[in-house]
Amino acid sequence: MMIHRTSLVLAATAALATLSVATAFIAEPVQTASPTRRVRSIKLGFAASPSDAEKSINVPSFVASPVLAQVYPALIAHIKEYGNPNIPLGSTDGKRCKTLRRLHFQNKLTDDEVAHLTELGFRFHSFEDVYYECDFDEMLAKLIDYHEEFDTYQIPKKYDPDPELGAWVTMLRRLHRTEDLPQIEVDKLDALGFEWISTR
């Protein structure tokens, strides 16, 4: 009977030790600092193995954009695997990268965020990319709102309140001139009385 009790005690002790080790691997945010940049270190892992628990991804403390904070770990992982942070569109993180490009074009990322992403090799929108990346009907609604306010479709190429809209309209005219704009989009714009020739 004494031997049986001793075995039970030893088994319980071993189980508690295992639970303590597993609990130690549960992630908690910690604050770290470096001579050049302060970062917040987010430790990942749920005790699948010690190596998983030791992995961490550093998100710079100057990151203010929630979208960038969400996608940042994936950007770093993509760099390690492929040599660049430009995640293809066919994934959740790829869609977040698309959102980052739009936020940049709309001047909604900070200078520090833009500089850091540029250092990483992140590809932002060129002027021409805007038409292809933006949803046509969403931009058309913005165009209609602009017309209702100003009674014209003559939007400046560099329209500070909405740089994306100005670039999009410029590309509409350019693609229409080269007959590369889909007819269904031409028809929608014609129905609005869109001015195909810029007077600005």
How confident is the model over 87-116, as pLDDT tens digits?
A: 988 889 999 998 999 999 889 999 999 999
pLDDT of the residue at 160: 79
Angle, helix 66-82 to helix 111-120, in steps of 10 degrees: 10
Q: What does DSSP assign to residue 126?
A: P
CA triple 122-168-133, angle to 5 deg: 40
pLDDT of the residue at 122: 93
pTM as predicted: 0.55
Is 60 exceeded by the pLDDT of residue 127?
Answer: yes
Is 60 exceeded by the pLDDT of residue 50?
Answer: no
Q: Would you say 54 and 48 are in contact if contact means Cβ atoms under 8 Å apart?
A: no
Q: CB-based contacts of 50: which residues, under 8 Å, 6+ apart?
A: 25
How many CB atoms within 10 Å of residue 74? 18
Q: Which range has highest mean pLDDT (8-22, 82-96, 109-123)?
A: 109-123
pLDDT of the residue at 162: 85
Q: What is the mean pLDDT of residues 112-130?
A: 89
pLDDT of the residue at 134: 85
